[in-house]
């Protein structure tokens, strides 16, 4: 099951990150992101009523993985799983969170930055490693990690958008995590969900063009 879900995350090569999105808006944002071609959504648990948003989106959107991000402890990981999260994402290497994910068959993308951290995360049970913050080192940093650690799926996150998503895929990433470049809070405030869908489509197309 974990491998199947990871494959679905990499289908579009994009995880759209919903951070600080109110539950009242979460459904419409999810619809827009899916319309743009994204197959994986991440609701960060530091968002208002995050568990309710995860449950709402899980019930609303079909054929798309809904996950929980910014998971810092095992208790939050379990709460997210019970709310319907189909994958977990962390900003750091936390073995308790990894064990909780593994215990219940939930794919986990673990945050790391250095080669040592990346290897530690993968050997500790991560299904993929979130290179974070990606913007600090850029695509060259991802390529440098992937050279000696090519067996580890890398998902750079932080400062990724349509303008550089392709470069990260070219550097060896299996997917990218994208937040504000897709989930534009100004667009949400204006009920301009078409802009959110267009943002998502732009990133998906950048990834697809590079793969082709």
Model pLDDT, residue 5? 84
Q: How many distinct structural domains can be found in the chain?
A: 1
Task: Identify the H or E element spanning 205.
Answer: helix 193-211
Q: What is the pLDDT along the chain (212 residues), one digit of tens a residue?
A: 577 888 888 888 999 999 999 999 999 999 999 999 999 999 999 999 999 999 999 999 988 899 999 999 999 999 999 999 999 999 999 999 999 999 999 999 999 999 999 999 999 999 999 999 999 999 999 999 999 999 999 999 999 999 999 999 999 999 999 999 999 999 999 999 999 999 999 999 999 999 99
* Beta-sheet strands, E only, within the chain: 14-18, 40-44, 65-69, 88-89, 108-112, 128-131, 176-178
Residue numbers of the domain that contains 140: 2-211
Give the whole-angstrom CA distance, residue 134 versus residue 112. Answer: 10
Query: Residue 182 sits in a domain of what CATH number?
Result: 3.20.20.70
Tell me the residue ranges of DSSP E strands in 65-146.
65-69, 88-89, 108-112, 128-131
Instruction: With H, G, I as helix, E, B as strand and everything else as coil, classify residue 72.
Output: coil
According to the model, what pLDDT value does residue 10 have?
87
pLDDT for 1: 55
Would you name the residues annotated as active-site residues?
42, 130
């Amino acid at each position: 099951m974990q491998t199947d879900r990871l494959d679905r995350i990499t289908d579009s090569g994009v995880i759209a990150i919903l951070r600080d999105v109110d539950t009242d808006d979460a459904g419409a944002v999810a619809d827009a992101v899916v319309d743009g071609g994204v197959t994986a959504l991440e609701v960060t648990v530091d968002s208002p009523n995050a568990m309710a948003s995860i449950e709402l989106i899980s019930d609303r959107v079909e054929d798309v993985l809904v996950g929980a991000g910014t998971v810092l402890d095992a208790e939050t990981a379990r709460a997210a799983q019970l709310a319907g999260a189909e994958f977990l994402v962390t900003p750091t290497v936390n073995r308790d969170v990894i064990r909780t994910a593994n215990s219940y068959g939930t794919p986990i993308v673990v945050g790391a930055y250095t080669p040592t951290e990346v290897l530690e995360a993968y050997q500790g049970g991560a299904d993929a490693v979130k290179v974070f913050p990606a913007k600090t080192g850029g695509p060259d940093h991802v390529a440098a990690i992937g050279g000696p650690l090519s067996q580890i799926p890398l998902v750079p996150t932080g400062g990724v958008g349509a303008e550089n998503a392709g470069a990260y895929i070219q550097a060896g990433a299996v997917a990218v995590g994208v937040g504000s470049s897709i989930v534009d809070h100004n667009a949400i405030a204006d009920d301009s969900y078409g802009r959110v869908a267009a943002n998502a489509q732009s990133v998906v197309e950048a990834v697809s063009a590079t793969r082709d």
